[in-house]
Structure 1
Amino acid sequence: MDTSQPSVRIGREQFHLAWDRSIEPIATVASGDVVEIDALDASGGQITRDSTVADLANLDFSRVDQVNGPIAVEGAEPGDTLEIELLEFAPEDWGWTANIPGFGLLADDFTDPALRITRLAEGMAEFLPGVHIPLAPFCGELGVAPPTDGAHSTIPPDVFGGNMDTRHLTAGTKLYLPVFARGGRFSLGDGHAAQGDGEVCGTAIETPMRARVRLSVRKDLHVTAPEFLTPGPLARGTNVGPYYATDGVGPDLMTAAREATRRMIDYLGREHGIDPIDAYLLCSVACDLKISEIVDAPNWIVTAYCPLSIFG
């Protein structure tokens, strides 16, 4: 692990709640400098380790998905690329996963709120009794100032990054973002201790996160949307044994994704005795949705993969 000391530290109180190119940088660093950012969880501290499902009804959604920054990088100009080398992600010792009514891939199936608080220790999360998920921490929100004026919500992703929720943006990865404003103006937030590809219920194992990143200006590279380079095999924590997979088939990818997830929930209940809502949350933090086939019209296949190494 790169142990370079940060030139700037950004605290939890230094956040913003929209991507907006008019927000002035709170710090400026030289190209190649390391920055440390301490960020609250996606709820902005509204959910704590002592929260119950009743607290979900009181969530102030105007405070969710805050990002910390922005940080300008000397020499970054529109048309350049900002290279973000992800050096370290340190989660706290707890996290939460929730089903929030009206949100998530299967919002019509799961209309009641649910909340699971998970202890994180020794690189693992015991999500359910007998279900241990390896931690693979990252930040769901990483982005720069957008190309157009005005406030852009921190909920959806965009060409400037934003709420990408990409589980492979872990330590060791290099992320490349297009620069649209002088300085680039980088921010991050939304710590995840573990997540499956797709984050199907809408939340991962959400947790406060301390992140260290190196910010460098690339004049020789001109990306137009996020691109990234991983350090090695994907999902090293779970890609160590067999998987069970379920397909969704049909002419619409979203419908196929829902069917694949429903079948995985059925499998988890049938073979592992997990009730539907817990299975849905487990799919969000440990199972991966992948497009298996997208050329054989009129039907496409989306597959849900569950790593069986998490059981036992």
Structure 2
Amino acid sequence: MNFKTIHDIHHCFDHALQPVETISSGDTRCFDIQDASGGLIQKESQADILTRLPHDALNPVCGPLFIEDADPGDVIEIELEDFEPGAWGWTGLIPGFGLLADDFTQPWLKISEYDSESVYFRDDIVIPFRPFAGTIGLAPAEPGQHSIVPPRLCGGNLDIRDLVKGSKLYLPVQVRGGLLSIGDTHACQGDGEVCGTAVETGMKATATIRLHKGDRILAPMFDMPPVERDQSLNEGFIVTTGVGADLMQGARDAVRFMMDRLVKKAGMEEEMAYALCSVAGQLRISEIVDQPNWVVSCYMPKAIFKSTSLKAI
């Protein structure tokens, strides 16, 4: 079925923004989403464009939609019905941004083609196509314009890779009408999005929006559907760890450890290794109770590597 498409975009969360439409609970809409650069990065772009991106124009989102009868204390459910893929996306190391920003001060850009099954990150690295919207949020109660970059209790730039087709995201309403916006679609991403970008791409996303009156929640929650056959799990994982008293430092250590293996054992340049950790690695807290030290692990699926030598890093 064809649903009304939302093309209007904006670049901040602000409950003073004029809604583009008022919808009712149960309505379905298609969102025509731009990539995180707002179309400024093209397939032929060079890395230096990353130093010229206007920060106030990044991560454009479609909307906002006013949900009829929604009030503070209610919950908005966003059921993600479908994603219509594009053909290519980009991954970038942006100076001053990312988990290891101090290590990477120069811009670096990777263009990847993809289809409905795979993202071709490199000739010998193929990652399953797993589209989702990185930014889904309602307007915050605090007045003024709020950056789209950080996530908030009412949603926003959550970058949760499991908000795929079939998932249902629940967000607490802070202002009348909720004011829902969606953007920042990805062809694939690892848990943590450690370099600051995934495979960023524009695509159309279809969602059904429902209102739950009086169902108070304090922060975003979601219902994830059963995982279909995932070939990335078929061959196991290479896993590195970070151990210490600080989880953020542990995350950095686990990623640096994985990068070191990719560089030394697979002959990968550091920038490529960092980007691969961002688009395919999975950061997990493995242990957080045995004080004073905690364990963060970085999982890399072996199945993405098409060369036998890469599987043995």
The TM-score by the shorter chain falls in which range?
over 0.9
Partner of 2:310: none
Alignment partner, residue 9 of structure 1: 5
Q: Which residue of the partner structure matches residue 309 of structure 2?
A: none
* Aligned 8 A contact 2:11 2:60 in 1: yes
1:305 aligns with 2:299: yes
- Alpha-carbon separation, structure 2, partners of 1:218 and 1:76: 8
1:148 corresponds in structure 2 to 142
Q: Which runs of 4+ in 1 moved over 4 A?
A: none
| 2:215 alignment partner, one of 209, 213, 221 | 221
Q: After TM superposition, give the deviation of residue 231 of structure 1 in Å.
A: 0.3
Matched with 1:32 is 26
Say which SS state the counterpart of residue 185 (structure 1) adopts: strand
How far apart, in 2, do the equivalents of 1:129 and 1:193 lie?
Answer: 17
SS in 2 for 1:284: helix
- CA shift digits 1:176-217 (9 cap, x unpaired): 001112221100111111000000000000000200000000
Does residue 109 (structure 1) correspond to residue 109 (structure 2)? The answer is no
> Which of 59-68 and 241-250 deviates more?
59-68
TM-score, length-normalised on structure 2?
0.95
Cross-structure match for 1:240: 234
Q: In 1, Cα distance between the equivalents of 2:130 and 2:234?
A: 14
Equivalent in the alignment of 1:167: 161
In the TM superposition, 1:185-264 aligns within 5 A as 185-219=179-213, 221-233=215-227, 236-264=230-258
Contact 1:91 1:191 in 2 (8 A): no
Distance of 1:295 and 1:223 partners within structure 2: 26
> For residue 98 of structure 1, what is the amino acid of its counterpart?
G
The 3 A distance-change label for structure 1 pair 64 and 254 is same
Q: 1:234 Cα shift?
A: 8.4
Q: Distance in 2 between matches of 1:122 and 1:184?
A: 33
Which runs of structure 2 are paired with 1:20-99 in the superposition (5 Å)?
A: 20-99=14-93
In the aligned structure 1, how far is the partner of 2:160 from the partner of 2:214? 25
The number of aligned residues is 306
Provide the C-alpha distance between the structure 2 equivalents of 1:262 and 1:216, rounded to a whole number of angstroms: 42
Aligned CA distance change for structure 1 residues 218 and 5 (closer, same or farther; 3 Å): farther
CA 1:17/1:5 → structure 2, altered by over 3 Å: closer, same or farther? same
Aligned partners of 1:147 and 1:160 also within 8 Å? no
Q: Let me know the Cα RMSD of the aligned residues.
A: 1.4
Q: What is the TM-score normalised by the length of structure 1?
A: 0.95
Aligned to 2:131: 137
In the TM superposition, what whole-angstrom CA distance separates every residue of 1:113-139 from its partner, at most 9, and x where no partner exists?
Answer: 100000112411110121000111011
The corresponding residue for 2:285 is: 291
Letter in 1 for 2:6: I
Task: Return the alpha-carbon distance in structure 2 between the equivalents of residues 72 and 233 of structure 1.
Answer: 32
Q: Which residue of 2 aligns with 1:126?
A: 120
- 1:251-272 CA-to-partner distances (Å, cap 9, x unmatched) read 0011100000000001112332
Opposite residue 48 of structure 2, the aligned amino acid is: A
- 1:66 Cα deviation from its structure 2 partner: 1.3
| Matches of 2:304 and 2:68, distance apart in 1 | 44
Range moving further from structure 2, 53-62 or 94-103: 53-62
Work out whether residues 136 and 157 of structure 2, in 8 Å CA contact, stay in contact via their aligned partners in 1. Answer: yes
Instruction: Provide structure 2 residue ranges, at least 5 long, that are not aligned to the other structure.
Output: 307-313
Residues in 1 aligned to 2:272 and 2:158: alpha-carbon distance in whole angstroms: 24
Return the alpha-carbon distance in structure 1 between the equivalents of residues 67 and 228 of structure 2.
Answer: 30
> Would you say the 8 A contact 1:145–1:181 is kept in 2?
yes
Compare 109-118 and 216-225 and name the one that shifted more: 216-225
Moved more, 294-303 or 118-127: 118-127
Query: What runs of 5+ residues in structure 1 fail to find an aligned partner?
Result: none
